[in-house]
A and B are shown apart, each in its own frame.
Chain A
Amino acid sequence: MEKTVLIVDDSASLRQLVVLALKGSGFRVVEATDGVDGLAKLDGGRVHLIISDVNMPNMDGLTFLKEVKKRPDTRFTPVIMLTTESAADKKEEGRAAGAKAWVVKPFQPQQMLAAVNKLIQ
């Protein structure tokens, strides 16, 4: 069965890069431009994994993560934070909020694919 990955990032080029990294391996990738858009595209828990930026307009990634973890249908959906943010306190905030991995940009598509495969199982 085709797995669905939601990428939430305000940068169109970064979203395209994630799409490029995953679509060749049979993933269906849904794109959202910020946290608010991301919440609207959770599709009632039919998303198998979420990749989210941290610094975004309207709703930042950590707030989005906390919202995702509040919802019963997405509580157990693994979330990868993909960000330029390397500050330890932000990382700790992400971990405490329930993120499964913290990826600092720039990222290698193969490594992202490996991380997605590892977490989606």
Chain B
Amino acid sequence: MTATLIVLAVIMGGVVFWLIRQTLNVQPWAEEGPIGQDHASGPFSVQPAKVGLIVFLAVAASLFSLFVSAYFQRMEFGDWKIAPEPFVLWINTAFLILASVFYQLARNAVIKNQTAQVKSNLLIAGFFTFAFMGGQLWAWQEFHNSGYVLSGNPANAFFYVLTAVHAAHILGGLWVWSRTLFKLQSIVETRKVRTSVELCAIYWHFLLLIWLVLFALLLST
């Protein structure tokens, strides 16, 4: 469980450190009046949706770190047979990096209120994401056809499970992506989709990071 403990130690450490710092020299019994923030905002100067997303990313990080921990623990047993990863995964990785890059460009464009660039960059980002998903399916096919079936060996099973759980997260992202695109068609003001483009960009970078970790794990073992 070392991998999980490291990830959770970072998350919990951050939470505990932040909370203790917020509460350290405060003497609530001795203070009166509407102190604190000027507005009814929270301690973070960001939108609630962003806080929600960050919390969700912490949940997803916990989930993937647990899978990685399980992977390491299961590997120790004698029946584990190393399977070669399909080469197409390298191409898929490139697709996902490009998707992330174009999402970042879309984000930069939405801040500058450039509607046309937002649309085109979003479309390209979506295209590369779909290419990644198609490539993953191809990798499954290839893996399966080479005789590495799900129930054959725990190493195969982990390959399918890790890629599937990652893909499920991408699908969730694509759903928000399609809604953003749909909204862009029907409304005039680009800044109304600003939040969802910004948050999706963060989500895409996060999923890229997770994929790089998973891919490295699969390659190295």
The answer to whether A and B come from one shared complex is no
